[in-house]
Amino acid sequence: MWGLAWFWWLIMVIIWMMFIYFTFMLAASKGRSPLLWCLLAIILPLITVILLLVLPPRPGARNQ
């Protein structure tokens, strides 16, 4: 049972890193500060992604 515990932790870390990467790309495409949003995503990944999806892009953003 405890032999595969590391595997589940590894899966969770990979998913967490995917949220951070997605947050970085989404913030950059909406003209927001990717570094600031990634720092927030380290603490609250799902909430940060939801907030970025709801926020409108800033004027002059690359991918509107």
Residue whose token pair is 């595997």: 7
Closest CA to 33 of 23, 44, 42: 23
Domain limits of the chain? 11-50
pLDDT tens, residue by residue, 6-55: 888 999 999 999 999 999 999 999 999 999 999 999 999 889 999 999 99
Q: Binning pLDDT at 50, 70 and 90, where does residue 64 land?
A: very low
The predicted structure's pLDDT at residue 13 = 93
Asked whether the beta carbons of 62 and 35 are under 8 A apart, the reply is no
With a cut of 80, say whether residue 62 has pLDDT above it: no
With a cut of 70, say whether residue 2 has pLDDT above it: no
CA–CA separation, 29 and 35 (whole Å): 13
pTM of the predicted structure, to 2 decimals = 0.80
